[in-house]
Structure 1
Amino acid sequence: MSKFGVVVMGPAGAGKTTFCTALIEHLRANRRSCFYVNLDPAASEFTFEPDLDIKELISLDDVMEEMSLGPNGGLIYCFEFLLENLDFLTIPLEQVTEEYLIIIDMPGQIELYTHVPVLPSLVKHLMRGSLNINMCAAYLLESTFVVDKPKFFSGTLSAMSAMLMLEMPHVNILSKMDLIKGTIKRKDLKRFLAPDVNLLDDGEAAKKRSKASEVSFDDPAATTNIMTGASFDRLNRAVAQLIDDFSMVSFLQLNVQDEDSVGAILSYIDDSIQYHEAQEPREPKEDVEVEVEG
């Protein structure tokens, strides 16, 4: 039988572990089983203790100390070590039945999802062979990015890069929606859920860029041209146009304090991994005849 799982990923600070916690709480409230896997070798605090923790195999602190590596290099080493010891994952996960949702909490270094081939190898192992897990990726991007459009498109590009590199079903999520409540109109927010290049033509920032583009940009390093000048504008427009051309990325909204919001995200995850289609229909309870004395 197939197993079912979700890989929770995204840049640092996007709220991945918080989302995992909210997802576990929602599953337990609905009497549904889950198996929580932590693959962040630097994580130390959890609301729910992981059922399987990579730190039992290797920790980032030990690698940095013994190998004299920095945080990013140490993280890559940890995952390469994991790929050499895949039985650490395989043996426990083989015991997990199809009724469980396997939740895998990933670290926040986006190079793992964008241009380092470590995670694609791990995903292939989980989705094929003896494990055969129907799996999707939940890519979280902090909703506060919508206030800064270049930053938003940069985050969207990283989400698209992960989609192309991992080649698996994807659910992209704007997290921490409670942080921007009241700062952006609902109709304006909807435009970020399916981003396109026209977003760069709105607002005061676009007017400033337009004025800056009229100024000579012979010196890209000039103060007036860095982060506001025509060169920067052309770069952002090229990135936005690339995202628009592929037309792959759309976002769901997440507020972990709202149970309905968490439930809605879970329903999209279930659809992506075809969870409900694989569940056997339950037989209706037979009517019980009650004898009446008299």
Structure 2
Amino acid sequence: MVFGQVVIGPPGSGKTTYCNGMSQFLQLIGRKVAVVNLDPANDILPYECAVNIEELIKLSDVMSEHSLGPNGGLVYCMDYLEKNIDWLESKLKPLVKDHYLLFDFPGQVELFFLHANAKRVIEKLIKKLNLRLTAVHLVDAHLCSDPGKYISALLLSLSTMLHLELPHINVLSKIDLIESYGKLAFNLDFYTDVQDLSYLQYHLDQDPRSAKYRKLTKELCEVVEDYSLVDFTTLDIQDKESVANLVKLIDKSNGYIFAGVEPSAVEFSKIAVRPVDWDYYRVAAVQEKYVKDDGNFDDGDN
């Protein structure tokens, strides 16, 4: 049984930085890690890459040869990778014996809630190599400072979860910068727990552009709430405690803590199971550390 993460998220959400920081942390706790770059546009990598899709296909070559833009080129590259999945399988076979895998995917969001190529690539790898993968979906924390963007992030997260059909963890990345994006309308746990979204309506109505689509926004929020699938954890990739908390969640989601793991990781895996209220205290700690609280909680009635 081989474990790993499928790292996805919009452009600028910090996927490559995440893979670099996560690989360093996992090695620190005793795991052998292999990072697999499946982004054909990512030609500057801060981490040591075990497998690089650019050995198979490059986005720049596709765009030049087929007169495609970056979006169409990425769809072509994923289609090409699917058709040449044996190449990727042969590259991964030497690694699956004793490595933990991190798959760094492109940032084009359509690949993960609209097109099926990336999903089929993941499904074929799971079947052929007996992988246990968790999708780690990164969303920039700055979206919380804008109610409209936050709702868009919720819809994207929900669509991706339903499309990929993998154990899934949504992450508010760059949480250490959240205060610099502007004051939040609510405490951080409102955004991580995806609580009653009707409270956002007051703030949306302050923007004439959002108020115009009041009914549509209300219906979209109800869709998110009816599914009741989306929530977020927080991440500061430079903070070891923050990364450790995320690793615990990932290990629970893909079953790593229940597998026969190497002795060096046993002690770490033992603390993965926490009391039910652990998440509450974690978010409260993040709120205190990164978000200035003036004691006022605006519920939209003022």
Per the normalisation by structure 1, the TM-score is: 0.84
> Is the contact made by 1:191 and 1:199 (CA closer than 8 Å) also made in structure 2?
no
Structure 1 residues 98, 171: CA separation in 2 closer, same or farther (over 3 Å shift)?
A: farther
Query: Residue in 2 aligned with 1:37?
Result: 36
Give the C-alpha shift of residue 228 in structure 1. Answer: 3.4
Query: Secondary structure in 2 aligned to 1:74?
Result: helix
| 1:69-84 mapped onto 2 (5 Å cutoff) | 69-84=68-83
| 1:41-120 mapped onto 2 (5 Å cutoff) | 41-97=40-96, 99-120=98-119
> Is the contact made by 2:144 and 2:184 (CA closer than 8 Å) also made in structure 1?
no
Give the C-alpha shift of residue 233 in structure 1. Answer: 1.8
Structure 1 residues 186, 197: CA separation in 2 closer, same or farther (over 3 Å shift)?
A: closer
One of 160, 173, 184 as aligned partner of 1:175:
173
C-alpha distance in structure 2 between counterparts of 1:235 and 1:18, whole Å: 35
| 1:1-294 mapped onto 2 (5 Å cutoff) | 2-97=1-96, 99-129=98-128, 131-181=129-179, 183-184=182-183, 188-195=187-194, 196-202=196-202, 205-206=203-204, 208=206, 227-229=209-211, 231-279=212-260
Give the C-alpha shift of residue 134 in structure 1. Answer: 0.4
Structure 1 residues 125, 207: CA separation in 2 closer, same or farther (over 3 Å shift)?
A: closer
Percent of aligned pairs with the same residue?
A: 35
Query: Residue in 1 aligned with 2:268?
Result: none
C-alpha distance in structure 2 between counterparts of 1:124 and 1:184, whole Å: 41
Give the C-alpha shift of residue 7 in structure 1. Answer: 0.4
Structure 1 residues 32, 62: CA separation in 2 closer, same or farther (over 3 Å shift)?
A: same
Give the C-alpha shift of residue 96 in structure 1. Answer: 2.0
Query: Secondary structure in 2 aligned to 1:173?
Result: strand
One-letter code aligned to 1:244: E
> Is the contact made by 2:233 and 2:246 (CA closer than 8 Å) also made in structure 1?
yes
Larger Rg over CA atoms: 1
C-alpha distance in structure 1 between counterparts of 2:14 and 2:262, whole Å: 35
Give the C-alpha shift of residue 179 in structure 1. Answer: 1.2
C-alpha distance in structure 1 between counterparts of 2:262 and 2:234, whole Å: 31
Give the C-alpha shift of residue 208 in structure 1. Answer: 2.6
Cα RMSD after superposing both structures? 1.9
One-letter code aligned to 1:109: Q
Tell me which moved more, 185-194 or 107-116: 185-194
Query: Secondary structure in 2 aligned to 1:102?
Result: strand
Per the normalisation by structure 2, the TM-score is: 0.82
Query: Residue in 2 aligned with 1:286?
Result: none
Give the C-alpha shift of residue 98 in structure 1. Answer: 5.2
